[in-house]
Amino acid sequence: MSSNTRFLFFIFSLLLTLNSVFHIVSQTTPSDSDASYILACGASTDAEDTDGRTWKPDSQLLSNSGNSMILSAHVQDPSLPSTIPYMTARIFTSTSTYKILVAKGQRFWLRLHFYSTSYGTLDPSKSYLDVIANGFTLLHNFSASITAQALTQVSIMKEFSLVPAQSGDLDITFKPTLEQKDAYAFVNGIEVIPMPDIFKPAPLVGYNDQFVEVESSSFQTIARLNVGGQFILPTDDSGLTRTWYDDSPYIFSAAFGVTYKADKSIKIQYPSNVSKEIAPLDVYNTARSMGPNANININYNLTWVFQIDAKFTYLVRFHFCELDLEKVNQRVFNIFVNNQTAKENADVIEWAESQGVPVYKDYAVYASDEDLWVALHPSVSTKPQYYDAILNGLEIFKMNDTRGNLAAPNPVQSPMPIQADDAPKKFRPSRSERAAHVIGGISGGVVGCAVVAGFFICFTKEKRKGDGNPSSRGNWLPLYGRSHTSTSNSTTSGKSIASSQLSSVAAGLCRHFSLSEIKHGTKNFSESQVIGVGGFGKVYEGLIDGKTKVAIKRSNPSSEQGLDEFLTEIEMLSRLRHKHLVSLIGFCEEDGEMILVYDYMANGTLREHLYRSNKPALSWQQRLAICIGAARGLHYLHTGARYTIIHRDVKTTNILLDEKWVAKVSDFGLSKIGSNLHQTHVSTMVKGSFGYLDPEYFRRQQLTEKSDVYSFGVVLFEVLCARPALNPLLPMEQVSLVDWALHCQRKGILEDIIDPHLKGKINPLSLRKFTETAEKCVADQGLDRPTMGDVLWNLEFSLQLEKTPEQPKMVSYNNADDTYATYTAMSGTDEDSFVSLEK
């Protein structure tokens, strides 16, 4: 079963499995001599997760298990990393305590796992819980449901480092939050992992010679990044089963620096005062530096920004290992934390004494706001050989306050993560139809579930109640660096929020419009000028300078969605110019408005020429030419610019057509830059549009350009079959276009489902080449999918077969690069029409 089918299967099987499943509890516990405890709460037997770690039942460690019950989740969200420990939960309706024996004087990690979904008849939004461990308040009024939605994550993990109790006992108490009526508490998994004492008193930034005391403090992990490197699984960590994430989602602005990996000749050697457990080798053997150009480096800070809880002290740990240079005073830099100097003239070689030797430094900072900024800048005062900086790893830990508290309010709702499909209203299922497909109770649940069938989300968008306390997202999966600046802030503080966050390059490359110019050009945002409505807001047709027709995209001022997407789009599009990418003319941000001005695309979106409109059907040759254009635009994004750019939201409504039917890829709001040097993927939250989402990206949350190839394959099928990628009103096996088309393809009856307008009018060879290409694009594994260059070549070939079936002019090559070279050579001057402004 493909994962799409599996996904739908779970949703529909929901209808059948309303009854909660109770497990008989059999009693097995870890023996007391076990150093660590990995507990699947509510499980009846030992079970392995997908990483091969064994989880044991929790019941014997619970001192008063009568106060709790065991329930299973109804729905297995496809982005759950594993069924263990998430599919069963222990539910607490009153105070219950786990009593766990730990070695005396031993510091340990405590990890709590939550999967917010419906258990039995319980409403996930009704769960609010407190967790207290050895006298430290770890969580208070914690809602897994609110947190999961705000973070767009299905499961939540909270990691703490606790100080040993003198007795050697660890008491973990769960209770429903008192202030919340009818609340219940729950937990899916608990890990207790002994750890070496890795915390030492750290200098408090901004206070001369003051150190924070760490010995009696507990910590919560806020971020753990393998800077310039890849995601590291718990099982690949050096024994402490930590997860390390890619740092790029946290980088502020478009200045990403460059990443690199240790040369094979460099052998990383831990010195005697750095334990291997501090961080695994993979953290030290990749790094990010500012780049080769001293003039550029001297003018910017390599900056990461984190969303944190205000009014706590944070310990920031920098991991360094020089991989390139060998001498003192070659690369010297300053380290800033929250705009204050944490360290002047940092020189990794001076600290480590040699290349390939890890060293780490801790700095503590008291944060009064909800951001934590970390920045590196070349130091000039020591006249180093290079103006550059380097970082290999970064960890951020929150320290308990003076009352032993680590808890903070729930995050505020963030904008909907997965863009609504912009289907016209009349085609959306009515509320009752929707209820027939998705059980109502789910809507309060996990985002991944609530949006299953694409369209539904359009009207489940009403704000869910938060606790009214704006606060950070006390979690540490990648979040976008700038995502904390909500639109509501920008409206109150007036203009310039966006431009102050734009890089000077972007701001310099595109035009800044005044609001009055825009109002004038759109007849004061007259409804008669509206040419489209999307997740972002409305798109108007307008005139600028009294003569030039433009498309004006105005973000809905009341929606919280947008500032990030707005900035990303300006950053991306102002640097990219290509015949097959929509051109950004400029932007306007006044009075809290976020407005983008584009070239006008006379023929609208590709989708409106495929189905659900009364426009004349496109011929096969026209369709091929459009697909080829869009493929060229994407190919350019993947390979033509300085960085690999992953579009992330390829779909037929993001392929626009100008007056000459030239296809242009649009909507870069979700795009991500991956460095093309050593990084092969970007690990990130799943965003995109349902029906087009790469199943592999969904499973592993790691983005590569092959995710765009997958989405493009869906587009190809859509072009061929003239139906939406997902149509929940169809019989179950037909809901997903990809699944249905692959099924028909295998049965040899694909011809039956193609657009009736095309039947009998396509050269069979051309059709075969096209469908083969589409099929390869939607391969389950990214590795099995072709590159955009291959796709392009195959589509060109399909067009040749259609035009001159007797003598196709193109020769097939096996090697992807060769094919592309041939193809560009043959397609002549067309590619000359683009210039990349970023070099």
Ligand X SMILES: *[C@@H]1O[C@H](CO)[C@@H](O)[C@H](O)[C@H]1NC(C)=O
Between 63 and 382, CB nearer to ligand X: 382
One-letter identity of residue 239: G
List 391's β-bridge partners, or say none.
288
Asked if residue 98 binds ligand X (CB under 6 A), the reply is no
Q: Tell the smallest beta-carbon distance from residue 270 to ligand X (Å).
A: 10
Separation between Cα atoms, residue 163 and residue 406, nearest integer Å: 13
Among the residue ranges 53-61, 117-125, 296-304, 514-522, the one whose residues contact ligand X (CB under 6 A): 296-304
Q: Which of 301, 522, 683, 707 binds ligand X (CB under 6 A)?
A: 301
Residue pair 740/753 in contact (Cβ under 8 Å)? The answer is: yes
Q: Which of 115, 184, 300, 710 binds ligand X (CB under 6 A)?
A: 300
Separation between Cα atoms, residue 527 and residue 428, nearest integer Å: 22
Asked if residue 216 binds ligand X (CB under 6 A), the reply is yes
Asked if residue 318 binds ligand X (CB under 6 A), the reply is no
Catalytic site residue 649?
Answer: yes
Separation between Cα atoms, residue 155 and residue 144, nearest integer Å: 8
Sign of CA dihedral 517, 520, 523, 529: negative
State the residue number with the nearest CB to ligand X. 404
Tokens of 418: 């997965």
Between 44 and 275, CB nearer to ligand X: 275
Residues whose CB falls within 8 Å of the CB of residue 408, separated by 6 or more in sequence, listed in order: 309, 312, 471, 472, 474
Among the residue ranges 397-405, 666-674, 815-823, 826-834, the one whose residues contact ligand X (CB under 6 A): 397-405
Between 348 and 625, CB nearer to ligand X: 348
Asked if residue 502 binds ligand X (CB under 6 A), the reply is no
Q: Tell the smallest beta-carbon distance from residue 665 to ligand X (Å).
A: 33
Q: Tell the smallest beta-carbon distance from residue 491 to ligand X (Å).
A: 26
DSSP state of 640: I
Residue pair 114/144 in contact (Cβ under 8 Å)? The answer is: yes
Catalytic residue among 237, 309, 649, 667: 649
Asked if residue 299 binds ligand X (CB under 6 A), the reply is yes
Among the residue ranges 75-83, 400-408, 412-420, 751-759, the one whose residues contact ligand X (CB under 6 A): 400-408
Between 332 and 788, CB nearer to ligand X: 332
Asked if residue 360 binds ligand X (CB under 6 A), the reply is yes
Per-position x/- string for 462-501, each x denoting binding to ligand X as judged by CB under 6 A, each - no binding? ----------------------------------------
Between 7 and 360, CB nearer to ligand X: 360
- A 10 A CB-CB count for 166 gives 9
Q: Which of 564, 700, 568 is nearest to 243 (CA)?
A: 700
Q: Tell the smallest beta-carbon distance from residue 356 to ligand X (Å).
A: 14
Between 380 and 617, CB nearer to ligand X: 380
- For the chain, helix, strand, coil in percent to 5 are 30, 25, 45
One-letter identity of residue 658: D
Q: Which of 375, 446, 498, 715 binds ligand X (CB under 6 A)?
A: 375
Tokens of 518: 């825009």
Asked if residue 336 binds ligand X (CB under 6 A), the reply is yes
Among the residue ranges 209-217, 224-232, 556-564, 793-801, the one whose residues contact ligand X (CB under 6 A): 209-217
Separation between Cα atoms, residue 794 and residue 628, nearest integer Å: 9
Q: What CA dihedral angle connects 607, 609, 611 and 615, to 10 degrees?
A: 150
**H-state helical runs in 305-384:** 348-352
One-letter identity of residue 162: L
- Contacts with ligand X by CB under 6 A: the residue count is 22
Between 235 and 382, CB nearer to ligand X: 382
Q: Tell the smallest beta-carbon distance from residue 280 to ligand X (Å).
A: 16
Q: Which of 339, 558, 614, 814 binds ligand X (CB under 6 A)?
A: 339
Asked if residue 387 binds ligand X (CB under 6 A), the reply is no
Q: Which of 116, 145, 217, 414 binds ligand X (CB under 6 A)?
A: 217
Q: Tell the smallest beta-carbon distance from residue 230 to ligand X (Å).
A: 24
Asked if residue 402 binds ligand X (CB under 6 A), the reply is yes
Q: Which of 236, 277, 401, 751 binds ligand X (CB under 6 A)?
A: 401
* CB burial string 218-257: b at 16+ within 10 A, e below: bbbbbbbbbbbbbbbebebbbebbbbbbbbbbbbbbbbbb
Between 352 and 498, CB nearer to ligand X: 352
Asked if residue 302 binds ligand X (CB under 6 A), the reply is no
Asked if residue 274 binds ligand X (CB under 6 A), the reply is yes
Q: Tell the smallest beta-carbon distance from residue 357 to ligand X (Å).
A: 9
Between 331 and 580, CB nearer to ligand X: 331
Q: Tell the smallest beta-carbon distance from residue 95 to ligand X (Å).
A: 21
Q: Which of 40, 202, 302, 359 binds ligand X (CB under 6 A)?
A: 359
Q: Which of 400, 472, 486, 568 binds ligand X (CB under 6 A)?
A: 400
Per-position x/- string for 561-590, each x denoting binding to ligand X as judged by CB under 6 A, each - no binding? ------------------------------
Q: Tell the smallest beta-carbon distance from residue 251 to ligand X (Å).
A: 14
Between 299 and 622, CB nearer to ligand X: 299
- A 10 A CB-CB count for 15 gives 11
Q: Which of 234, 404, 466, 640 binds ligand X (CB under 6 A)?
A: 404
DSSP state of 63: T
Residues whose CB falls within 8 Å of the CB of residue 445, separated by 6 or more in sequence, listed in order: 75, 116, 117, 118, 124, 125, 145
Q: Tell the smallest beta-carbon distance from residue 400 to ligand X (Å).
A: 4
* Helix/strand/coil for 269: coil
Q: Which of 681, 728, 711 is nearest to 777 (CA)?
A: 711
Between 33 and 216, CB nearer to ligand X: 216
Q: Tell the smallest beta-carbon distance from residue 399 to ligand X (Å).
A: 4
Q: Tell the smallest beta-carbon distance from residue 534 to ligand X (Å).
A: 34
Tokens of 82: 């594993």
Q: Which of 680, 687, 672, 707 is nearest to 254 (CA)?
A: 672
Asked if residue 377 binds ligand X (CB under 6 A), the reply is yes
Rounded to 5 degrees, φ, ψ at 498 are -70, -50
Q: Tell the smallest beta-carbon distance from residue 131 to ligand X (Å).
A: 16
| Burial of 121: CB neighbours in 10 Å, binned 0-12, 13-18, 19+ | exposed
Among the residue ranges 110-118, 183-191, 297-305, 529-537, the one whose residues contact ligand X (CB under 6 A): 297-305
Between 223 and 337, CB nearer to ligand X: 337
Residues whose CB falls within 8 Å of the CB of residue 426, separated by 6 or more in sequence, listed in order: none
- A 10 A CB-CB count for 354 gives 11
| Burial of 181: CB neighbours in 10 Å, binned 0-12, 13-18, 19+ | exposed
Among the residue ranges 93-101, 212-220, 255-263, 634-642, the one whose residues contact ligand X (CB under 6 A): 212-220
Per the listing, tokens 């309060």 go with 444
Q: Which residues within the stretch 105-134 sit at the binding site for ligand X (CB under 6 A)? A: none
Asked if residue 399 binds ligand X (CB under 6 A), the reply is yes
From first CA to last CA, the distance across the chain in angstroms is 45
Query: In which region does residue 765 sit, left (phi positive, over 0), alpha (psi from -120 to 50) or beta (all else)?
Result: alpha
Residue pair 6/78 in contact (Cβ under 8 Å)? The answer is: yes
Tokens of 503: 């890089």
Per-position x/- string for 254-273, each x denoting binding to ligand X as judged by CB under 6 A, each - no binding? -----------------x-x
Between 4 and 253, CB nearer to ligand X: 253
Residue pair 322/268 in contact (Cβ under 8 Å)? The answer is: no
> Radius of gyration of the chain from Cα atoms?
28
Q: Which residues have a catalytic role annotated?
A: 649
Q: Which residues bind ligand X (CB under 6 A)?
A: 212, 216-217, 271, 273-274, 299-301, 313, 336, 339, 351, 359-360, 375, 377, 399-402, 404
